[in-house]
Structure 1
C-alpha cells in the first residue's frame, strides 16, 4: 500500500490499528493489524511513545494523552463543542435521555459529544466515534441537508443492514430524507441498534439550508417516545444555530 511507504503513513497505520474498544494492544497484534514488519512497528511505536501519542506498558501499547490534546485543538469541532455544550446540557435536563451532537464527515456521522445519565440507553455511539448516515437520526437529517452529490452517493449504496429494521431500500430512505428536509426532523426506529429510538434536528448555517451539525435525543423502546421530544430537540438545534450565527466568523 502506497500510504505505508512513508514514515507518516506507518505512524498513522499504527494509531488507526486501535479500535473503539481497544485499551491496549500487544506488539504482535499491531504487527498483525498493520501488516508491517515487526522491527518497523517497534521502531515507529517507539517514536510515537517519545511524542506522547502512544504509551508503552508491560503488556503492550495504548493511545496516549497527546492524541487527546491534539484532538481538542481541532478548531471547528472545539468551537462547536464549546458553544453547544450549554444547549446539550439544557436538553438533557429537559429530557433525561441520551443527547448527541454530531457532524458529517464524508458519508458518515462523527459524534462530537454524548451526554447521558445513569439510566441512559445502551448505544454504540461514543464521542469521536462514527456511524453510517443512513441508519441514524442524526445521519438522516445531516444527509437531508447535504449537497446533492453526497445524497446521491449514499442512496447509490450499498446500504448496510445493521438490524432487521434498517432502511436499505433507496427509495424509502429518499422519502425519509425529503420528509426530514420538509419538517426539520429525522427519526430512527431500531435501525442502528435493536431497542433504540431517536429523533434529531439540524443545526443550520446562516443560509438556513446547510447543516453544520445535528442534535439528537435517544432512548429505549418501551419508555421513550421520540415524538414527545421533537419540539425540545428542534428548539435546542435552532438556538445553537442562532448562537453560532452571531459569532464573528462563525465556526
Structure 2
C-alpha cells in the first residue's frame, strides 16, 4: 500500500485503520508493519501510535511490537447490544455448559456477519474456529442462520444475493437452499447445521428476541458431528426462550403452543 497521504481521508479514518491492521492471525505488529498496512509514512504512524499508547488503546511489548490495549477492550465492553444481551444470557449459557460440557456460544448480528460475544468450552469439546470477538458469515453457522432467519428482509436479500462462501462441502452456497433453510428456522424456531464451517462439528442454534420482538442475538451448542442433535434441540430452544423472556420479549412471555 502506498505511504502517500490520501486526499480526503480524515485523521479518524487513519486511526481506525490502525486498529484494523491487527487480526486474530497477527495480533502483534511492529511499527513498520502498522505503517505499511495503514499506508502512512513511518513518522506519522509513530506519532499516531504514541498517542494511542498513552491513552491505552495500544500497548507495546518488550520486543517493540504493539498489540490492542486493555483500555480499548474496556470501552468496547460498554457496547449495549453485546453487553446487555450477554449479561442476561450468561446464566442460561452457564446452565447449558454445565449440562453438556460442549461448546456454548452467543452471537449478535453485525451487518451480514455473526459477531461472537461469548463462548464457553469444555476441555473435551470439539474444536471450533469461532472466538469471542470473531466474525463468521451468517449463512455458514448455526447462530448466523438463526439471526438471518429473523433479520430484516433487506439483510436477507443482501446475503441471498451472494456470494455465499464455502467453508466445507456442506456449507449452504445455494440461494434456493438457503431460502429453504431460513423458512424452516422460522417455522421450527431452531436450526441444526452439520459441517457448515467444520466437517467434524454440528451446531444446534436458536434465536433470541428483545422487548420489541426483534431478533437480538442467537445462542448455540456445537457438538461432534457424530453425535445426534435430538437431545440438544429442546434445551437450546428452552435456553433461547429463557433469555428472550429475560429481555422482555412478548413472544417469550406467551405460553408455548
Contact kept, 8 Å, 2:209 with 2:247, in 1: the verdict is no
Q: How far 1:205 sits from its partner (Å)?
A: 2.8
Relative to the length of structure 2, the TM-score reads 0.90
**Is 1:45 the counterpart of 2:66 in the alignment?**
no
Equivalent residue for 1:225, pick from 223, 228, 232: 228
Aligned pair count reads 245
RMSD of aligned alpha carbons: 1.8
Contact kept, 8 Å, 1:163 with 1:191, in 2: the verdict is yes
Contact kept, 8 Å, 2:101 with 2:121, in 1: the verdict is yes
Q: Equivalents in 2 of 1:48, 1:235: separation in Å? A: 44
In the superposition, relative to structure 1, how do residues 214 and 43 fare at CA in structure 2: closer, same or farther (>3 Å)? same
Could you say which residue in structure 1 is the equivalent of 2:177? 172
Q: Which runs of 5+ in 2 are unaligned?
A: 250-257
Contact kept, 8 Å, 1:102 with 1:113, in 2: the verdict is yes
Q: Deviations over 1:22-49 (max 9, x none)?
A: 3311112112221222112111111100
Q: Deviations over 1:204-225 (max 9, x none)?
A: 23454x2111110001222x32
Could you say which residue in structure 1 is the equivalent of 2:255? none
Could you say which residue in structure 1 is the equivalent of 2:21? 17
Q: Equivalents in 1 of 2:7, 2:113: separation in Å? A: 22
Could you say which residue in structure 1 is the equivalent of 2:111? 106
Could you say which residue in structure 1 is the equivalent of 2:144? 139
Could you say which residue in structure 2 is the equivalent of 1:241? 244
Q: How far 1:147 sits from its partner (Å)?
A: 1.1
Q: Indicate the larger mover: 51-60 or 175-184.
A: 51-60
Relative to the length of structure 1, the TM-score reads 0.92
Q: Equivalents in 2 of 1:230, 1:139: separation in Å? A: 17
